[in-house]
Structure 1
Amino acid sequence: MSNAMVLISQNRKPNLRAPIVQTAVTIALDTKYLISQPPGTNSRGIYMFDNRVNNGSSNEGGLELSTVCNAGDIMSFEVIAINELMGGSADTVKITGFNVSQGNVFGGSEGAPIPYHLPGTSPGAYWLAQAVNAGQQVYQIFVEITSSGLHPIVRDITWDPYITAK
């Protein structure tokens, strides 16, 4: 997401605008691959990147992204299915939650990630958070993948990237 303001679409007055996002994290999921793997084996097929490489972010392109943002930044997390239209399928992905295992960058409930319906995205695909405190944090992100087809397969995956706020 760019720094452009976006209209809030649900349960809000139409003249209110979403906060400006300074740090954007995008997660592309190879849904066909991840669904084909046994549960708990998700070391490949997850591609994370952000807009903070000039700030020191590293490990882009894998699942152990180390985002470096500024304390106070509004952060977005967006998941996309990279095989969404392959072969006529329409696999879906959504974030189902976050858990902080170490550190306090989100500042507990004060900056905790929350779902946000961004126009043009599916429900659960986009979340907002705030880097409230300077420091380092390890967090888990929980994602649900649902395959398309007559008998959809649902796969829950989780992994633990990093955030440093300076």
Structure 2
Amino acid sequence: MSMNKDFKEFLELLNYHKVKYVIVGAHAVTAHSRPRSTGDLDVLIEASKENAKKIVAALTDFGFDSLKLKVEDFCKTGFVIQLGYEPNRIDILTSVTGVEWKEIWENKINDVLGSSEIPVFFIGKEQLIKNKMAAGRELDIKDAERLIKFKSKGENP
């Protein structure tokens, strides 16, 4: 799958600034099973002051300093910022339903997104299933069922 240039630049900046993040949502479902269409890239970040400083720096370098986002915005759970429009939208979240950051970070998967060859972190399969089940939308339940059926990369069949 070809990578949108904005997604690529954004992920490179997250890595450059050493932001603690994991990719969640449809791109994570794809990483753990098979491709699913989506209109955005969902990125979960750790809601801490140190990490918030890093994400604000990355967003400034990405050209979104005009939004006047503050470190405090990214320190509280439940914060969501959407950059751009589908199909190239980037959603940055400070929490997800059904699973805590600590568990997510301890079980993250190192991989690459699509054909980008950019190293990224994905939410672990079990944590993604918990998140999708807790979210409870019809699409999320279907994603969870798909994840349960497929083996993750590196697992023995």
TM range (shorter): under 0.3
Query: Between Structure 1 and Structure 2, whose CA radius of gyration is higher?
Result: 1
Structure with more of its chain in helix, by fraction: 2
Structure with the bigger RCO (C-alpha within 8 Å, sep 6+) is 2
Structure with more of its chain in strand, by fraction: 1
Normalised by the length of structure 2, the TM-score is 0.28
Normalised by the length of structure 1, the TM-score is 0.27
